[in-house]
Amino acid sequence: MDPSPAPPSLKLVLEAFLFSAQKALTVRELRDLLALAAQDETAPEAAAYKKTKDEDIEAALAELQSDHAAAGRSYRLLCVAGSWQFASTPEFAPWLRALLGRKARPPRLSQPGLETLTIVAYRQPVTRVEIEQIRGVSVDGVMQTLLERGLIEAVGRAEVVGRPVTYGTTPAFLEYFGIRSLEDLPAADELRRLPVQRPEALLTVDPGLATAPADAPSPGTPAEAESPKEAPANPTASEPPTVPPPES
């Protein structure tokens, strides 16, 4: 029986996936495709990559990315928002517009929008009140715009009185700025260190039933007796003056 043919290198298999795909692919999706291809009985060589580890895929993608960059082609292999895809380089935009036409682009973010989005990106998860403390103005309208454009989303609730919604960025945020992950954001230590005044944390009064501020008395603990009201310094000040009867 003839031995199975040797498979092409992993990076070339991944290149074939990405070249033919109609969308960007994550490492997990590429791994699943390798496992699916290994089930093809007519291509026994595909079994070589049946159990390929994520780190091996990432290493092969990095090598492939370096190869394409060094080749000086009209396109590059990019990782944006955790997904890999081929993309044309910007200097070829005039010719590609002639081929594909001009697409309507979403309006640019305003300066308040960019400032608010920056705070969310570096301080997430963050509440609306915390954003307003940093910016010093109301952000209701700006937050609504960012939510509608899918750049931010609600990610949970803060463990403080009132349980306000916390916000974080979305994969669309990474795509908008063309970055791989939040770790690729420029350093902004000063923004991260800006102090904000948080409400008091919640204290569970009866687990599973209710919560109360930290200064609330716990169950079974009698509240402090109210001190008697002090008499007014001027007793007559709080009473109507006595009017003498008219003389007969």
What pLDDT, on a 0 to 100 scale, did the predictor assign at position 192? 59
> Start-end ranges of CATH 1.10.10.10 in the chain?
10-100, 111-193
Give the N- to C-terminal CA distance of the chain in Å, as an integer. Answer: 140
What is the crossing angle of helices 27-37 and 54-71, to 10°? Answer: 110
Domain 111-193 has CATH 3.30.70.120: no
What pLDDT, on a 0 to 100 scale, did the predictor assign at position 31? 96
Please answer whether residues 165 and 143 qualify as being in contact, where contact means their C-beta atoms are separated by less than 8 angstroms.
no
The SS3 call for residue 168 is strand
pLDDT values of the chain reduced to their tens digit, one per residue, 248 residues? 456 678 899 999 999 999 999 899 999 999 999 999 999 988 899 999 999 999 999 999 999 999 999 999 999 999 988 899 999 998 998 998 898 887 766 778 899 999 999 999 999 999 999 999 999 899 999 999 999 999 999 999 988 888 999 999 999 998 888 888 888 888 766 555 656 566 555 444 444 433 444 444 444 444 443 444 444 444 444 444 444 554 44
What pLDDT, on a 0 to 100 scale, did the predictor assign at position 129? 92
What pLDDT, on a 0 to 100 scale, did the predictor assign at position 188? 66
- For residues 218 and 237, give the distance between their C-alpha atoms in angstroms, rounded to a whole number: 40
Domain 10-100 has CATH 3.40.50.2020: no
